[in-house]
Structure 1
Amino acid sequence: MNSHSEHVLALLERLSRVINNDAGLSELKPAQWEALRFLSQANKFSRTPSALTSYLGVTKGTVSQTLNALERKGLICKKKDAGDRRSVSIQLTEKGKGILNNDPLKALLGAIEQLSNSQLNTLASTLELVLTTALQQRAGAPFGVCKSCKYFMRNVVDGTPHRCALLQVPLTSMESDLICREHTN
């Protein structure tokens, strides 16, 4: 590892610590915030315990405990999937959606918004590359926004107006902006 790489790694570690410390000062634990953020951005196919487990890269037990705590606090509700009774869908409650307005991560947003568009684009593409590489090394799922997936079909006749060619389901414009566990580059 060269000194530049080590410096970047140290900066990422410090930033992660700042984020987790801010989250730790609130009424929710950092893992609970991460789960709420994911659920608020995930599409209907990805709001499941197994998708959350893959996304967070933690154990099923950790996700189960996190979801149980969020359910006890009235921030989420679990529903059996109508099509597959073994599957559970997780929905944010109104209280869960509301608490995201107090997300401690928003404090960091102010610093990020000071960057120019060019800096933002460079930072985003660099971090996406680092994350994708790290996930590939660990055989993790990439996740991604539907409209950037190779299976996303824009403005099709049998869509609303879009379609997922992998799952063979119509997608609204709003759904196409959500995170999907099936995302493929």
Structure 2
Amino acid sequence: MTDTTLYDYLERIASLMRAWAREQPLMADLQPIQLSALNYLARCNRYSNTPLAVTDFLGLTKGTVSQSLKALEAKGLIRKRPDAQDRRSVHLELTDAGQGLIEALVPPAFLSRAEEALGERRELLVALLRELLTSIQRQEDVPGFGLCRTCRFHQKRDDGALCGLTGERLETREGELVCREHSEPGEAA
């Protein structure tokens, strides 16, 4: 028989997070996918804040994500901004209301308390979960969506940082944001 222990734990944690979301007064007007999209947009960089990137990150259909993004825009939680170089493309940004909602909801307090209770072991858990995620992404050939500063293209310079893929300078805070072009060090492009 196959050992399902890891699956069982991950599924139970996901169930607890879904139940928590349903109980939040701030979530009364939002679907879980909308919270996921807002959370992604709050953490992604300028290369990754497009409707297509949201679709890829969430692993859902374009239609489903498009409807969710329209609902978020109608609720005043996100806004569209035309791309400066390609007016056909749009970038999605959180409004102040959207940012406030994310700050109020993420991470859930119960998860923060559980992390705190782990003490020093929290760092080990985070490292193991990152390793698990990276392994799954490689095996399943899905986009990495990792932190910019951990990408093989992220180049530290005396005068700041540079994206080796685009050749563009990076602001300090961008190193802590999620990028859809992320490639693990040592990984082929």
Query: Does the TM-score normalized on the shorter chain lie above 0.5?
Result: yes
Which of 96, 112, 116 does residue 115 from structure 2 map onto?
112
Matching residue of 1:178: 177
User: Does residue 80 in structure 1 map to residue 73 in structure 2?
Assistant: no
**Aligned-partner Cα distance in 2 for 1:73–1:113:** 34
Which of 110, 122, 125 does residue 124 from structure 2 map onto?
122
- Write the letter of the residue equivalent to 1:111: A
Which of 56, 59, 76 does residue 57 from structure 1 map onto?
59
Q: Which of 50-59 and 106-115 deviates more? A: 106-115
Matching residue of 1:91: 93
Equivalent residue pairs, number: 179
Percent identity reads 39
Aligned-residue CA RMSD (Å): 1.5
**Aligned-partner Cα distance in 1 for 2:136–2:172:** 30
**Aligned-partner Cα distance in 2 for 1:75–1:146:** 25
Q: Secondary structure at the match of 1:141?
A: coil
TM-score by length of 1: 0.90
Shift of 1:97: 0.6
Q: Is the 8 A contact 1:153 1:164 kept in 2?
A: yes
Any residues of structure 2 matched to 1:11-26 within 5 Å, and which? 11-25=9-23, 26=27
Any residues of structure 2 matched to 1:33-72 within 5 Å, and which? 33-72=35-74
- Write the letter of the residue equivalent to 1:116: G
Shift of 1:104: 5.8
Which of 5, 8, 12 does residue 7 from structure 1 map onto?
5
**Structure 1: which 5+ runs fail to align?**
none
Q: Is the 8 A contact 1:145 1:178 kept in 2?
A: yes
TM-score by length of 2: 0.88
Please list the CA deviations of residues 80-127 of structure 1 after superposition, one character each: whole Å capped at 9, or x if unmatched: 21211221100000111111132164222221122122x122211221
